[in-house]
Amino acid sequence: MSTSTGAVLDAPALWPAQAHVPSVVGRQLVIERGEGSYIVTADGRRLFDGTAGLWHANIGHSRPELAEAAAEQMRRLETYHIFGRFVNDQALTLADRLSALSPIPDSKVILNSGGSDAIDVACKLARRHWQREGRLDKRVILSRQFAYHGLHAFGTSIAGLDFNREGYGGESLVPETARIPLHDLDATIELIAEIGADRIAAVVTEPIQGTGGVHPPQEGYLRRLADICEANDILLILDEVITGFGRTGTMFAAERFGVTPDLLTFAKGVTSGYAPLGGVLVGARIWQPFYRDDADTPIFRHGATYAGHATACAVAMRNLDVLEQEALLPRVKDLESQMVDGLDALAARNPSVREVRVCGFLGGVSLVDTVDAVRVADALIDVGFVSRPLRGNTLQLSPPFITTDDELRDYIDAIDATVTAEAQ
C-alpha cells in the first residue's frame, strides 16, 4: 500500500475500477499484450491468465481472425444505430443466430454494450411487462444473497454483496428490491409470502454465482426456483453474463440445469471480450404484446447509441464460429473433469484449503481464515499466474477454453505451493 499522500494524488489520470485507490497506486500491472492463454505486462512478465480477464477471454487473447473480422467490418461500416426504421445488417444477422442458440424458444434479442446494460434492460422490461398487463403493484425485483449483477443503477440496487449497495443515500438506488437466501428455497417461499407475490415482478439469479465466491446451484435448485416463480406468476431472469457461451460446457447454463427463463442476460463470452457487447434474450410471453399490429400496441423505450454496434456484432459472429469450429464446448467438459480432480486432490492434501467448488470450467478455492486470498493472489502473480480474490476468502479459477492439460495442472500446483507458503 502506498504511504505517500503525494504519490496517491500524483497517480495516473485513469481512475482504477473497483479499487481502494491508495492500495493499488504504484502497484498496477500494465498489460501490454496477450498471447493465447497468457498476458504480458509492460515490464515483460508473462502471466497465465487464470481468470480469462474478467471471466470473458474464452477463446484466448489476440486471435488474428477476430481482429480481421473487426477490420473487415470497419472498412465497410463501423456501425449504424438500430433506432426506429434503421438497422444494420450485422445486428440482424447476429440476433437471428443468437435466437437460434437461445434456450428460450422463439426469443427476441435486445442488444447493448455489456452485462450491466443487459441487467438494467431486463429489470426495466420485467417491470414494464407487469405495468402493461395492468398489474401495477408488481414492481419488486428479488435477487440472491451474495449476487453480483453489474454496477449500473439496477445492478447496484439488486446486488447481494452489501458493499456494492452502500454509500448512495439509501438501501437501494432503485426502490423495491429485496434479497433471497443463497440456497434456502423454503425461506425464499416465506419471503415471497411476506412481500406478497402480487408485488413481485421478477427474480434475478446467476446460474452459478461468480463474484460472490463461485457458488454452483445445489442439485435441483434452479428447477425448483423456476417452479416457484411460475406458481407465483413471477418472471425468472437468468444472468448468464459469465456462464453464457460455453463456460458450463453447454452454450447456456440454462440448458445444463434444465430451466427455461423468461429473460436471459448475456455479455462477456458472446465476443470473448474482443468487443463490448451484451444483451437480453426475451421470451414470447414478454415480447409478443409489443409486436402486435394494433393501434394500441405499446413501445418499450430501450436503446443506446451503440446497441447493435455493427463491428461488435461482426466480432461476435466470428467468436461463435471459433467456438463451433474448434469444438470448445466439449473441451470445456473435459477441462471441468480435470479441474474437479485437481482441486479435489488439492483440498485433500492442503489443510489451508477449506473447500473447493467447481461447475463447468469455473472453480473456487476457499481458504481458511488464517490465509489471506488477497495475499495469495498477489504471490501467484510473482510466480507467473493470475487468480482473483473473491468474497469468502476464495480464489477464482476460470481460464480460457484453450487451456492445455499441462497449463491447468501447473496452475493448480502453483496455487497449492503459494497457499502453503502463505500459511507458514
Q: With a cut of 70, which residues of the chain have pLDDT below it?
A: 1-7
Q: Rounded to two decimals, what is the model's pTM?
A: 0.95
3-state helix, strand, coil in the chain (%, to 5): 40, 15, 45
Q: What pLDDT score was predicted for residue 2?
A: 42
Q: What is the pLDDT, as a whole number, of residue 7?
A: 61
Q: Which of 254, 299, 263, 311 is nearest to 94 (CA)?
A: 311
Burial class (CB in 10 A: 0-12, 13-18, 19+), 339: buried
Domain with CATH 3.90.1150.10 in the chain: 36-59+327-423
What span, in angstroms and rounded, lies between the C-alpha atoms of 342 and 335? Answer: 10
**Alpha-carbon gap, residue 35 to 33, rounded angstroms:** 7
Instruction: Single out the residue of 206, 197, 282 nearest to residue 234, CA to CA.
Output: 197
pLDDT score of 1: 43
Residue ranges matching CATH 3.40.640.10 in the chain: 66-325
Pairing of strands 177-180, 235-239: unpaired
Main-chain dihedrals φ then ψ at residue 392, nearest 5 degrees:
80, 25
Residue where the block lists cell 407475490: 197
Give the model's pLDDT for residue 406.
Answer: 98
Q: State which CATH number among 3.90.1150.10, 3.90.580.10, 3.30.420.40, 3.20.10.10 fits the domain covering 36-59+327-423.
A: 3.90.1150.10
Per-residue confidence (pLDDT) for residue 6, from 0 to 100: 56
pLDDT at 3: 46
Specify whether the CB–CB gap between 3 and 21 falls below 8 A.
no
Helix ranges, 221-273 (H): 221-231, 253-257
Give the CATH number of domain 66-325. 3.40.640.10
Beta-carbon-side half-sphere exposure of residue 390 (alpha carbons within 13 Å): 24
State residue 147's pLDDT score.
97
Residue 386: the pLDDT is 98
pLDDT at 10: 84
Residue 209: what are its φ and ψ, rounded to 5°?
-65, 130
Exposed / middle / buried, residue 302 (Cβ in 10 Å: 0-12, 13-18, 19+): middle
